[in-house]
Amino acid sequence: MLEGDRITRIAVIGAGSWGTALANLLAEKGLEVDLWVREEEVFRQILDERVNGVFLPGVRLSEGLRPVISFEEALRDKQVAVLAIPSHVFREVLVGIKPFVRSNIVMVIATKGIENHTLMVMSEVAREILDERCRETLACLSGPSFAREVAQHYPTAVTVACPHMGHAKELQELFSRDFFRVYAGDDMIGTQLGGALKNVIAIAAGASDGLKFGENARAALITRGLAEMTRLGVAMGSNPHTFAGLAGLGDLVLTCTGDQSRNRSVGFKIATGMDLQEVTRSMRMVAEGVKTAQSAYELSLKMGVAMPITEEVYRILYEGRDPRDAVKQLMLRDLKAEREF
């Protein structure tokens, strides 16, 4: 991937909580890290105060992390670019960075989502826009990782996936810290689907919690949610074992149970009486599962894969179905053998 060169120069595109946490993790290793920032307010805070008070408040950022406001400056002479931007602007941002992407730069996708309308995962979008520039140097990073806990050096494990295991191992070394353990894999599609679909299931788990349905219901949603995530992944050529790992089950459990989960919070608030517009207006940071629910539902229809939990989340968000009615629909489906997906 980098022909034996030591990786020292990195761009991180996106200064939300996750992009900032990853940029800081790398800068603390003594690497040269430029963080592209969209918001002037965030740029000034990082430059003058060494904090991102908007998206990652209370965390002191490394002096080695340099905020920049232009794509050209962020990507100049860089060996690796980490893409940590919301999925709904992923295409727009890639179009913006395309003129400044070196032919041999390694692109690490840290965005979790499925694009509306095209139904592409982010690596497919990147390949379409960047053409041959990045076909051999694309990778993705995913797993159960709340940004704040990473920034606070809490023990965390994730996976980095790349079509070539040798390349994945290079990136494994790049991101690993004594509190941040990175596993390597080669299932790009499965890793990205796990990171995207778990957000939809987390909305269902949040709604269940908001309705006070208890822990049995949450466990059922996580288990059967994993089943439908795996079904879709296998239909798209993924390794089913990917969904039993960090990018699948690991991220699913965290997002369905953690109090920091924005997607779980969306479901909880809807179940307690707020409508979707009220919920999204109340959140500064993006809950990826809201847009992914539409893409995932349409993708399930396209692939002919049954995803009943995803379907009900879609109907709650976009058709106004009452969450209690959605639960009834799920509980009264035709009875099946458990391994009959």
Nearest to 97 by CA among 172, 165, 36: 36
- The encoded tokens of residue 210 equal 């908001």
Q: Which of 29, 78, 98, 198 is catalytic?
A: 198
- Is residue 313 within 8 A of residue 204, CB to CB? The reply is yes
The whole-angstrom separation of Cα 309 and Cα 225 is 7
Helix (H) or strand (E) holding 265: helix 262-271
**Rounded-to-10 torsion of CA 41, 10, 145, 229:** 110
- Report how far apart, in Å, the C-alpha atoms of 72 and of each of 69, 89, 100, 123, 286 are: 9, 18, 6, 22, 26
- Is residue 323 within 8 A of residue 145, CB to CB? The reply is no
The whole-angstrom separation of Cα 246 and Cα 244 is 7
The whole-angstrom separation of Cα 244 and Cα 192 is 14
Is 302 one of the catalytic residues?
no
The whole-angstrom separation of Cα 157 and Cα 192 is 16
Which residues are known to be catalytic? Answer: 198
